[in-house]
A and B are shown apart, each in its own frame.
Chain A
């Protein structure tokens, strides 16, 4: 790191800490204003950072080093919410859920960096038995072993707060209180096939944070996902593309492909566009990515993406 870079990073982190400091947890009123701008520091020169390798812990360490260190993101005493994908009851080997070891490693990093509390949340697809996902994916034991909290939202209205949004379709809905109140919200999806939406990635992963998912399916799935992505952007998105199923998604089991990488960034649309290409599709062919691009939520032009490889 040269002097200029150092000053840049320092200034940016200072600025971001100031911004984070100004952010107050939203009041518990019935509706709140959405925050559309990302509040954590981005990667100044890149849309996204690709880290190649297979070892989960090592990937995260190198990834965070490349984007300025975890201390840039995790404030002292911060509440961190991580949203991985453990929405189906599959084992880590079946590659249909976010890499459990990597989620646990991230929780540990956040706690080491001074976070007061790290919550790992999801709302599995099988609404009647989320315990099954907590067990089979191994996420419960892994996260609890490193001192994080892990739980599911299924069937508990109290986890949600009514919000209003200016989306094209999505106007009034119920969204995760934890995420709204978090100091740092990290979206941690896996790259895998999805029968209905073609691919599930960062934006699709956010669907686990809302109460009424049936509305998405009965209105317009892709538009709703894009609307939701605009509602509350994650401060950081980390895409698990170590291994993932390429068919029979989202539930699997299915054929597994090794991509051997993770992708970090603050532009979730760019990450989804990159991941779609990695999967072998044009970003525009995935409805919600195309719509998000049209809405100006992020960069979807594959050629224009600035990618840092580590």
Chain B
């Protein structure tokens, strides 16, 4: 048995500290990559959703596979401890909750977590259909699902802020927290959180209401997820083990203790496999199948991807749009694809050689958390292949000694003949775009063409 009031300060400092550490690490994702850049990579691996995605696409248990299992184990023991204590998005929402509570306290009105009878109660039956919807999308090849999980979302949004763009998703998340209850996102949206909620139904230790509960309802008001159920005597599967309930309880301390054998059902409402539930789950699958085409690769779309990127279909399935490669790129040649490129491609990284060339430092490979950009040697890389338009190249058309393309090429992929006219050695060319970037002809006379295959055998 553990008295929860002892968590009083830690439950704010630790999650907010995790958020601060994450922001710090994201900010440091610049050239030269600091040695601590691997910390964020390993930290991100605590997310079991990433393991699912990896297993789906690689079919083998990864070397880092034990890390997400720690989270799973923790959840099976004590519930969503990860969400309450280790998650950076959780840290942000904890911060929001704490600030809001301190303001409300000062205004001497009862602060609330989630009001009983809130309209959000009606959303509960749609939680697992929503999770199923997301999982079907993920398994069929949309990387957007992983984007919604905390580590990917937070790095993408922090990068956005650093680029002085508006972090829409964070604002949405905070707004939802403000108008409903603090952890709305974690209870209804976050796919990783929903998986952990599902696992938490079978946890060993639960938070219990104290003896002599007077059903005053204060615990429900302060609970950030609305998980406390005094009528059942235990907390629901969304319990973050933060201990706020305990602190405010007039009857005594809530305790974390071994769950009672007779009360296995912690949340009476998510009763699976009733006819209604089956219809909901079925509709979720149908909806996912209907949505899928708009999230898969549009035919013909084949932008220039970072070196080491997987074939386009698999790349789109695994890229979580976390933006770390874009942040870490030393030459800033990686750009987020614009909204106008369509839902499937939006926010994925692409190279625009005319703006900047790829320096082949492979930093994007080092920071990619999903493996969408695989570790591939430069020699085997095919970002694209350079192609010279001889009718406009001043070496060919005007007989000038230019050869900037040869000067710039880091792979010795440009050959010059005795008249100083360049030609591309395709076996050497990796498509870094140095030539296209530097070509003095307007509307360059040498252009990187995307290839159907992205690696040499």
Q: Which residues of A contact B (CB under 8 A)?
A: 89, 125-129, 131-132, 135, 194-196, 214, 217-222, 248, 250-251, 287
A194 to B409, CA, bound (A): 12
B31 within 8 A of A: yes
Contact B394–A128 (Cβ < 8 Å): no
List residues of chain B with CB within 8 A of the CB of A132.
31, 330-331, 359, 361
Q: Which residue of A lies closest to B30 (CB)?
A: A131
A125 to B330, CA, bound (A): 15
Point out the residue from A126, A214, A221, A248 that lies within 8 Å of B359, measured CB to CB. Answer: A126
List residues of chain A with CB within 8 A of the CB of B332.
128-129
B416 within 8 A of A: yes
Contacts A126-B434, A132-B359, A135-B32 given; indicate if A195 touches B406 (C-beta within 8 A).
Answer: yes
A221 to B437, CA, bound (A): 19
Contact B403–A195 (Cβ < 8 Å): yes
Q: Which residue of B lies closest to A129 (CB)?
A: B331
A214 to B394, CA, bound (A): 12
Tell me the smallest distance from the CB of A206 to a CB of chain B, in Å.
16
B440 within 8 A of A: yes
Tell me the smallest distance from the CB of B360 to a CB of chain A, in Å.
9
A196 to B409, CA, bound (A): 12
B410 within 8 A of A: yes
A127 to B408, CA, bound (A): 10
A-B contact pairs, 16 of them (CB 8 A): A89-B359, A125-B438, A126-B331, A126-B434, A128-B333, A132-B331, A135-B31, A194-B407, A196-B401, A196-B403, A196-B420, A217-B400, A218-B400, A220-B401, A222-B401, A250-B407
A165 to B212, CA, bound (A): 94
Q: Which residues of B contact A (CB under 8 A)?
A: 31-32, 330-333, 355-357, 359, 361, 394, 400-404, 406-410, 412, 414, 416, 420, 434, 437-438, 440
Tell me the smallest distance from the CB of B98 to a CB of chain A, in Å.
39
Point out the residue from B32, B333, B356, B440 that lies within 8 Å of A217, measured CB to CB. Answer: B440
A248 to B412, CA, bound (A): 6
Q: Which residue of A lies closest to B440 (CB)?
A: A214
List residues of chain A with CB within 8 A of the CB of B31.
129, 131-132, 135
A132 to B402, CA, bound (A): 25
Tell me the smallest distance from the CB of B217 to a CB of chain A, in Å.
58
Contacts A132-B331, A135-B31 given; indicate if A126 touches B408 (C-beta within 8 A).
Answer: yes
List residues of chain A with CB within 8 A of the CB of B406.
195-196
Q: Which residue of B lies closest to A218 (CB)?
A: B440
A250 to B414, CA, bound (A): 13
Contacts A126-B434, A248-B412 given; indicate if A217 touches B361 (C-beta within 8 A).
Answer: no
A250 to B404, CA, bound (A): 11
List residues of chain A with CB within 8 A of the CB of B404.
196, 214, 217
Interface centre among A131, A217, A218, A219 (most CB of B within 10 A): A217
Tell me the smallest distance from the CB of B386 to a CB of chain A, in Å.
15
A122 to B107, CA, bound (A): 61
A131 to B363, CA, bound (A): 14
Total residue contacts A-B, CB cutoff 8 A? 77
Point out the residue from B357, B400, B402, B403 that lies within 8 Å of A126, measured CB to CB. Answer: B357
Contact A251–B401 (Cβ < 8 Å): no
List residues of chain A with CB within 8 A of the CB of B401.
196, 217, 220-222, 287
Contact B408–A251 (Cβ < 8 Å): yes
Contact B359–A251 (Cβ < 8 Å): no
List residues of chain A with CB within 8 A of the CB of B437.
127-128
List residues of chain B with CB within 8 A of the CB of A127.
437-438
Contact A125–B333 (Cβ < 8 Å): no
List residues of chain A with CB within 8 A of the CB of B412.
248, 251
Point out the residue from A126, A195, A218 that lies within 8 Å of B416, measured CB to CB. Answer: A195
List residues of chain A with CB within 8 A of the CB of B407.
125, 194-196, 250-251
Q: Which residue of B lies closest to A133 (CB)?
A: B359
Point out the residue from A131, A214, A221, A251 that lies within 8 Å of B409, measured CB to CB. Answer: A251
Q: Give 8 new A-B contacts, CB below 8 A, not counting A196-B406, A214-B438.
A: A131-B330, A195-B403, A217-B394, A217-B403, A217-B404, A220-B400, A221-B402, A222-B401
A221 to B438, CA, bound (A): 15
Contacts A218-B394, A248-B412 given; indicate if A129 touches B403 (C-beta within 8 A).
Answer: no
Tell me the smallest distance from the CB of B30 to a CB of chain A, in Å.
9
Nearest 8 Cβ contacts at the A-B interface: A128-B356, A129-B331, A196-B403, A214-B440, A128-B331, A195-B406, A217-B402, A218-B440
A126 to B333, CA, bound (A): 12
Q: Which residue of B lies closest to A125 (CB)?
A: B408
List residues of chain B with CB within 8 A of the CB of A287.
401
Q: Which residue of B lies closest to A195 (CB)?
A: B406
Q: Which residue of B lies closest to A88 (CB)?
A: B410
A196 to B419, CA, bound (A): 11
Point out the residue from B356, B402, B420 that lies within 8 Å of A218, measured CB to CB. Answer: B402
List residues of chain B with CB within 8 A of the CB of A196.
401-404, 406-407, 416, 420
Q: Which residue of A lies closest to B403 (CB)?
A: A196
List residues of chain B with CB within 8 A of the CB of A220.
400-401
List residues of chain B with CB within 8 A of the CB of A251.
407-410, 412
List residues of chain B with CB within 8 A of the CB of A218.
394, 400, 402, 440
Tell me the smallest distance from the CB of A208 to a CB of chain B, in Å.
13
Tell me the smallest distance from the CB of B67 to a CB of chain A, in Å.
31
List residues of chain B with CB within 8 A of the CB of A129.
31, 330-332, 356, 359
Contacts A218-B440, A248-B412, A251-B409 given; indicate if A128 touches B402 (C-beta within 8 A).
Answer: no
A221 to B402, CA, bound (A): 7
A6 to B306, CA, bound (A): 64
A126 to B416, CA, bound (A): 20
List residues of chain B with CB within 8 A of the CB of A125.
407-408, 438
Tell me the smallest distance from the CB of B421 to a CB of chain A, in Å.
12
Tell me the smallest distance from the CB of B353 to a CB of chain A, in Å.
10
List residues of chain A with CB within 8 A of the CB of B408.
125-126, 251
A195 to B416, CA, bound (A): 8
List residues of chain B with CB within 8 A of the CB of A214.
404, 438, 440
List residues of chain A with CB within 8 A of the CB of B416.
195-196
Q: Which residue of B lies closest to A222 (CB)?
A: B401
Tell me the smallest distance from the CB of B37 to a CB of chain A, in Å.
15
List residues of chain B with CB within 8 A of the CB of A222.
401
List residues of chain B with CB within 8 A of the CB of A135.
31-32
Tell me the smallest distance from the CB of A124 to a CB of chain B, in Å.
11
A206 to B356, CA, bound (A): 24
List residues of chain B with CB within 8 A of the CB of A248.
412
Tell me the smallest distance from the CB of B93 to a CB of chain A, in Å.
36
Q: Which residue of B lies closest to A248 (CB)?
A: B412
Q: Which residue of A lies closest to B361 (CB)?
A: A132
A66 to B414, CA, bound (A): 43
List residues of chain B with CB within 8 A of the CB of A250.
407
A248 to B414, CA, bound (A): 10
Tell me the smallest distance from the CB of B205 to a CB of chain A, in Å.
50
Tell me the smallest distance from the CB of B241 to a CB of chain A, in Å.
45
